């Protein structure tokens, strides 16, 4: 989408570093803009794309958030266009491609607690008629794989990791006393 009217964000201080303007995967698009004017330019680009491809940007599903400051004058533009605004006041983290964009510790904790609840739910669904080996396979391939994906971006607290370890251990080895 390289556009001279959108400044983007430089990931490096090197002079030859090109600014990152967007990241896209399948039907997910993340655009980095700095002003209401860049928002208008982006809408025009999306409108042109829509005319060429017979696709349409659904502004009602669009979410705006600020990386480090208030949205300022862009807030009014987003509100007029029906764009959702995600802020540090939200209870939940914004999710993009399965990764949380947590602006606060509370949002991060909510995200990780929801993963823990999902793991517990899946444990109850995967039955009790499996051997220890079967449970270990389920734990590694289905339950914990989600964690590795997310932990590449966000580091959970040590207390949360202990909770997960306890939950998985009780699932894989439900015997009491545990074998040594």
pLDDT, averaged across the chain: 82
pLDDT of the residue at 118? 92
pLDDT of the residue at 6? 67
* pLDDT above 70: residue 156: yes
Euclidean distance between CA atoms 3 and 11, whole angstroms? 17
Name the pLDDT band for 111 (thresholds 50, 70, 90).
Answer: very high
Mean pLDDT, residues 81-89: 88
Cis peptide before 177 (omega within 30 of 0): yes
* pLDDT above 70: residue 127: no
If you write DSSP's letter for every residue of 71-95 in order, what string do you get?
Answer: -TTHHHHHHHTT-EEE-TT-SSPEE
This prediction has a pTM of 0.74
pLDDT of the residue at 5? 66
SS (H, E, C) 140-158: HHHHCHHHHHHHCCCCCCH
């Amino acid at each position: 989408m390289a556009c001279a009217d959108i400044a983007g964000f430089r990931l490096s201080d090197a002079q030859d570093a090109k600014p990152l303007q967007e990241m896209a995967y399948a039907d997910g698009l993340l655009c980095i803009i700095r002003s209401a004017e860049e928002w208008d330019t982006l809408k025009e680009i999306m409108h042109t794309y829509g005319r060429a491809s017979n696709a349409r940007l659904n502004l009602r599903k669009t979410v705006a958030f600020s990386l480090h400051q208030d949205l300022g004058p862009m807030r009014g533009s987003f509100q007029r266009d029906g764009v959702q605004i995600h802020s540090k006041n939200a209870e939940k983290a914004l999710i993009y491609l399965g990764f949380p964009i947590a602006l606060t510790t509370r949002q991060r904790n909510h995200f990780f607690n929801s993963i823990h609840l999902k793991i517990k739910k899946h444990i109850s669904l995967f039955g009790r008629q499996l051997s220890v080996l079967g449970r270990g396979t389920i734990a590694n391939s289905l339950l914990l794989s989600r964690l590795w994906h997310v932990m590449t971006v966000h580091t959970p607290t040590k207390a949360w990791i202990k909770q997960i370890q306890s939950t998985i251990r009780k699932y894989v080895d439900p015997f009491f006393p545990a074998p040594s």
